[in-house]
Amino acid sequence: MLEFAWMMLRVYNEGNFTVEQEVSKKLYLQYSEDIMREARSVLVQESREFMRCDPRTHVQGETYVQITELLQGYIENEVDMNSGGSCSQNCGYYQHAKAEGCYMPQSQYCGKHRRCQGTIHDCQFYDADAWVCLSRNPYRRYDFIQYESKLRLGPNTECEGSEMKVDSWWRFFFHCSYCLCLCDDDKSATTDRYISLIPALSDVNNNKVVTGIQVIKLRGVIHLQVQHGQTLPQGHVNTSTLQWVQVEPLTINSAVYTEGTHYKKLSYEERSIDLDRLLAPDDHVVTGVRFRMLGSHVNFEVQITPVNYTTGELNPTKSYWISNDNTPAMARNPRKEVLITSPDDPTKFPGLSKIYSAPDSFIRFGPTDRALDVAQLTVPFFDAQPVSPSPSSWWSGVELFHKGQPGSGGFLALKIITYDVTPHMETQDERPKTVDVSEIPAN
C-alpha cells in the first residue's frame, strides 16, 4: 500500500518519489523475509500431530463403536461340556470345549438360558451355587453373579433384568460344577466381530486428498471412512469441496462378499490388531487408508500420492500403499503386545485418556475383567469421533494407537500428521544463487 501511494503521487505530478517507492519495496521484502524466518522457527518446534480428546459423555455409535460378544463370560456345567456327560473332571480341565448337550433341560440351567453355539474357553470354578442376573442388554448375558459364599462378579447394582438360581450338584462321588467360561460364538445374532478390508480412498483423479478420517460401524462391521477435499497450492485445501466419502455396507455371509478379501471375522485364535505410525516420504500426501491381514493380525495401511507443492497437483498414476510389515515372529524387532490389566468398560472412566501404545506394537481384543464385569464386553472399543483438522490441510501420515486409563479397556484411536511446509519456506539468503552466463568473460 505504501509503494502504491508513492506511485499515485507520481502519477498526479506531486513529485518523482522513485527512490521512496524503491525503499518501500525493499522494506516490504525485508519484513516478509523476517516474518517467514520467524514463522518457520516456530513451526519447526510445533507438533504436526492432531487427535481427538475424550468426549465429556460417551455415546455409542457417535463417540465410540465396539466389537461385541467376541469372547463373553458364559456359565456352563461341566456335565454339558463333554460327550459322555461326565463330571469326573473340574472346570480348569475345560480350556477349549463345546456345549455337547443339555443334561435334564427341564430342571437345569442349560435349558433356561441362551446357549453358546461356538467354542468355550478358559473355564474357571468360583463357587457351587449362585444367583445370576440375566441382562436386558442384548449384547450382554449377565449383569452380575452373586455366589452364596458372598463372592460377587460384576458391579454392585440392583438387577434390572431377571434373576435365576444356579446350583451345582453331586453325582455319586463326583461334583457337577457350574463353571464361568468364555464363549466364542460366531453364530450369535448379536455378535459384531467383523472388520472391513475394503480401502477408503479420496478421489485422486479429481485432485482430492484425505482431509478427515473416522471409524464407523455398519451392519455389525467396523469400517474406516474418509473425508476428502480438492488440493490448492502450498498445502491448502478448497474447503467448499469437503465431503465424507460414502461407505459401502457389507452383508456378511453374502455371495458378493468373501471373508479374507472384503472383511475379517475375529475369533479366539485370531483377534490381534497392529498399532503403527505410517509416514509418507517428502512431497507425498495421504490419499487413502485401509485394514488388511498380515498373517493372523489385522494390519493398518496408508495410500500416498506424489504432489507438487507449488501447484497442488497430484500424480495419481504413482499412488502406492505404505505399511509396517513387522510381525511378532520377526527376530530382530518383534512387535510388543500392549497388555491391559483387569480391564473394565472404558465408558465408565470420566478422566482424560493417556496413550498406552507405541509404534511396532499390537493389542488383542479380549473380554472385560471377570470380577469387575463378568467378562461381558469386548475391549478395547474404537474411538468413533471424526479426526478432521480445521482449517483443512494436506497430511503426511496417520497413526493407529491405543489410549485409556488404569483399569480401563481403553479405545483404539486415530491420529493424523499434517504436511510439513517448513522445507518450502525459504528466505532470500537461502535460495540458490543464479549466475547470468552472459556476464562471464570469455576465456
Q: Does residue 436 have a pLDDT over 60?
A: no
pLDDT-wise least confident of 74-83, 88-97, 328-337: 328-337
pLDDT-wise least confident of 80-94, 121-135, 318-332, 358-372: 318-332
Q: Is residue 80 part of a domain?
A: yes
Compute the chain's Rg from CA coordinates. Answer: 31
Look at residue 439 in the predicted model and tell me its pLDDT. Answer: 54
Burial class (CB in 10 A: 0-12, 13-18, 19+), 71: buried
Look at residue 54 in the predicted model and tell me its pLDDT. Answer: 94
Q: Are residues 214 and 329 in the same domain?
A: yes
Q: Are residues 269 and 393 in the same domain?
A: yes
Q: Are residues 198 and 62 in the same domain?
A: yes
Q: Which of 73, 37, 45 is nearest to 369 (CA)?
A: 73
Q: Which helix (H) or strand (E) holds 29?
A: helix 18-45
Q: Are residues 102 and 215 in the same domain?
A: no
Q: Is residue 82 part of a domain?
A: yes
Q: Say what percent of the chain tops pLDDT 70.
A: 95
Q: Are residues 111 and 204 in the same domain?
A: no
Mean pLDDT, all residues of the chain? 91
Q: Does residue 155 have a pLDDT over 90?
A: yes
Find the domain containing 13 and state its range. Answer: 1-25
Q: Are residues 399 and 284 in the same domain?
A: yes
DSSP string, 122-169: EEE---SEEEEEE-SSTT-SEEEEEETTS-EES-S---SSEEEEEE-E
205-227 tens-digit pLDDT: 999 999 999 999 999 999 999 99
Q: Is 322 helix (H, G, I), strand (E, B) or coil?
A: strand
**pLDDT-based confidence at residue 428 (cuts at 50, 70, 90):** low
pLDDT-wise least confident of 84-93, 225-234, 324-333: 324-333
Q: Provide mean pLDDT across the span 228-244.
A: 96
Q: How many domains does the chain have?
A: 3
Assigned C-alpha cell, 302: 496408508
Q: Which helix (H) or strand (E) holds 19?
A: helix 18-45
Q: How many CA atoms lie within 13 A of 112 on its CB side?
A: 14
Q: Provide mean pLDDT across the span 390-403.
A: 96
Cβ pair 434, 248 in contact under 8 A? no
Q: Is residue 166 part of a domain?
A: yes
**pLDDT-based confidence at residue 18 (cuts at 50, 70, 90):** confident
pLDDT-wise least confident of 21-25, 161-165, 243-247: 21-25
169-207 tens-digit pLDDT: 888 788 899 999 999 999 999 999 999 999 999 999 999
Q: What is the DSSP letter of 70?
A: S
**pLDDT-based confidence at residue 430 (cuts at 50, 70, 90):** low
**pLDDT-based confidence at residue 377 (cuts at 50, 70, 90):** very high
From residue 121, alpha-carbon distances to 74, 154, 311, 367 in Å are 10, 20, 58, 12
> How do the residues of the chain divide into helix, strand and coil, expressed in percent and rounded to 5?
15, 35, 45
Q: Which residues pair with 323 in a beta bridge?
A: 301
Q: Are residues 92 and 204 in the same domain?
A: no
pLDDT-wise least confident of 28-37, 224-233, 302-311, 401-410: 28-37
Q: Are residues 323 and 286 in the same domain?
A: yes
Look at residue 254 in the predicted model and tell me its pLDDT. Answer: 87
Cβ pair 258, 197 in contact under 8 A? no
Q: Global pTM? A: 0.88
Q: Provide mean pLDDT across the span 408-416.
A: 97
Q: Are residues 344 and 410 in the same domain?
A: yes
Q: Is residue 435 part of a domain?
A: no
Q: Is residue 377 part of a domain?
A: yes
Q: Are residues 252 and 175 in the same domain?
A: no
pLDDT-wise least confident of 87-101, 244-258, 427-441: 427-441
Q: Is residue 297 part of a domain?
A: yes
Q: Is residue 37 part of a domain?
A: no
Q: Does residue 441 have a pLDDT over 70?
A: no
Q: Is residue 249 part of a domain?
A: yes
Cis bond before residue 380 (omega within 30° of 0):
yes
Look at residue 131 in the predicted model and tell me its pLDDT. Answer: 94
Q: Are residues 243 and 178 in the same domain?
A: no
309-343 tens-digit pLDDT: 999 999 999 999 999 998 877 667 889 999 999 99
Q: Which residues pair with 200 in a beta bridge?
A: 289
Look at residue 339 in the predicted model and tell me its pLDDT. Answer: 94
For residues 204 and 135, what is the distance between their CA atoms, to the nearest angstrom? 48
Q: Are residues 244 and 175 in the same domain?
A: no
